[in-house]
A and B are shown apart, each in its own frame.
Chain A
Amino acid sequence: MGDDDQQHGGYQIDLGNLTAFDPHHQFSSVPDSREDLVKECIAHGTKLIQAVADALFNLPSTEDASGPIVSLPPPSTKLPREKPLPKPKPPTKWEVFAKKKGIQNRKKDKLVYDEQTSSWKRRHGYDRVNDDNDIPIIEAKMTDEPGVDPFAKRRSEKKQRVDKQEKNCLHNLKEASKVGALPSHVQLAATALPITGTQAAPRKVSKDELQNVAGMAATSTASGGKFDKKLAGEKPPKHDKKYRKFLPVVEGSGMGSLEKQQSDKILNKLMSKNSHEIFNVGKAVDMYNAKSDKKRRNQQGKSSSTSSKLKVKNSPYKNKPTKKSSTKGKSK
């Protein structure tokens, strides 16, 4: 802005922001008293503002009741935006099709003349032209099947059209959101979270559980989570105050005799490791019988000739994906 500098006495003027900047001023000696300093600053400021006012009042102005109105030029100092630029939204499916076919958009009138009642009715809304519900008689055509209710058919067709339209609308919004150009008042939200193999919705974790998670995970570390860095809110691993459990000194010899249980447990462990004769005959017989019964039943049921290799094996570990009722396009 060299011209401006010379014109306005060496100041940089930004009319759009009503700013004057004097880059050449130096304080050779700061005045001692504050008042003098302030006075000097204001005096200098006056000069600058006079320069801006010169430029401002020389702009072409229009007279108005409240005063002269000038049209300011856009500001020359660039300042950053506060929000990102909105992205242009991608054309919708219909727009793409219309462009390809050369279909022009025609404005429709709000009122349409209805021949039946010979009056002007509105196109959409209450008491509209060509309302589906108002048709009293539908003539049967040769192509009509006998058992089909034409009114119900019309209703279901309309419903299909509406569903298709909603599906297209959702698709268009998704395309827009991919680019980042979703209209500002619209949000896309997930209605259902994915279902896991156990067919149960994941349980929402409570605040207490989250606080204890770190503690639970800590037990898997070698040092018991003593040196783990914890985030704010995570609690240390829980344990009883006691690390060792001692049996009571005096105790009855009833059912819950702890000392007896303790010694029994140890004995059984030792005996089972070293003994080969421990074999539950009864249980083994039952298991064998059950297995053979099942095999016989399966062989009787399936009289197919395909070899077992080609048959689909029912593995007990596989979960078959079951189709849930589709909620596509249904708004809440």
Chain B
Amino acid sequence: MNTFHLSNSASCLLEVVVLPFFRFFAFHLGLIIEYYIMLHIKTPKSLRAKRAVEKRAPKLVENGKTTLILHGTKTSNVLNDVLTEIYHLKKDNSVKYSRRNDNIRPFESGGETSLEFYSLKTDCSLFVFGSHSKKRPDNLVIGRTYDHHIYDLVEVGVENFKSMKSCSYDKKIAPLIGSKPFFAFIGEGFENVEELKHLKEVLLDLFRGQVVSNLNLAGLDRVYVCTAMSSTKVLFTLCALRLKKSGTTVPRVELVEVGPSMDFVVRRHRLPDESLKKEAMKIAPELIKKKEKNVSKDAIEGKIGKIYVPDQQVGNASLPFTPKGVKRERREAKAKGEDNKHAEKKQKQHDDVSA
């Protein structure tokens, strides 16, 4: 019997077994039994449910990614603080679970089923999993999912954590929730070392918020500064942005350390499968902007278009259809007719006169 599961997003409410309408033959004691499998359409009965399902469906242009923050069997104080701070930084698009999860081991083959289930349930494609053990103290596993299956993982250890509360700053410049952040990545490690490259990508994905096309420049107030100190350590800190008056239209930028600052020590990482990566990075053909042909912009002349004129073949050119030949004949015939009429009239008069 062919059973195949629809992609998770279409069947998030129930496990669905789709059996197309076919005859199912079974050979049992030398006879043929025909099975007809009846299908019926299930649609959500309320508009609210329909909206929820449509929100979770795969789309051409996707919603912003949400994050799931949870922890494992044992956590330390430091790790608890880290998790709560990350949750506060991403308050509008993250979910924090408070209970401990004993059976989640992201790097082991069987230990990720729970994570995938939670990802499906909360529709989160990023997760931050904290755990503490003697071998790996203050461990954070940041991972991404594709179609609610684990895509890639980065495991970092947290050191030298300084929380938001310990920084003293003017409260007016505190960054607001949901503002689009700036990112500054410093260090050649981010280009040369594979783990750091991966970490850079994951941090960007985690903290960047929604991709927008229109941005209000007055609402920019946070900067994430990541510095690669060595090939394994990354200093991560959040700063508030102050724009000061300068002579030109571009304001002078000033950074004030506000938020949590910690050192990430890269431990393990898992890159995605090549085929999976290729599929996940696909861009819809509709979204690729088509280049307008034969149009170019010049600074001096403005928009220039090229027109290609094909060769004119004088010999084979089709002449316009004006039946002048017919007209000439008619004209001549008419002219001849007039003469005859005159001649007839003259003859008649003569006859009359004569008679």
Q: Name A's B-contacting residues (CB within 8 A).
A: 16-27, 30, 34, 37-38, 41-42, 44-46, 48-50, 52-54, 56-58, 61, 64, 66-72, 74-75, 77-86, 169-170, 173-174, 177-178, 180, 182, 184-197, 317-319, 321, 326-328, 330-332
Contacts and interface: CB of A to CB of B under 8 A. Distances in A.
B250 A21 contact: no
Contacts of A191: 38-40
Interface stretch (B49-57, B87-95, B323-331): B49-57
Nearest to A44: B186
Interface stretch (B130-138, B207-215, B311-319, B333-341): B207-215
Contacts of A27: 187, 227, 229-230
Given A41-B227, A82-B125, A187-B16, 20 more contacts: A17-B208, A21-B190, A41-B235, A44-B184, A45-B225, A46-B255, A61-B217, A70-B217, A77-B201, A81-B280, A82-B65, A82-B146, A170-B41, A182-B6, A185-B44, A187-B43, A190-B39, A194-B35, A317-B29, A321-B33
Contact of B160 (A34, A48, A64): A34
B123 to A, nearest CB: 9
B40 A332 contact: yes
B253 A50 contact: yes
Contact of A38 (B9, B13, B54, B257): B257
A321 B23 CA distance: 13
B180 interface: yes
A78 B208 CA distance: 13
B249 A190 contact: no
Nearest to B63: A82
A254 B42 CA distance: 67
B212 to A, nearest CB: 7
Interface residues of B, number: 98
* B contacts with A: majority SS: mixed
20 contacts: A17-B183, A21-B190, A22-B184, A53-B250, A53-B251, A66-B216, A74-B211, A77-B204, A79-B201, A80-B144, A82-B125, A82-B146, A82-B147, A83-B58, A173-B41, A177-B20, A180-B6, A186-B41, A190-B37, A194-B35
Nearest to A23: B191
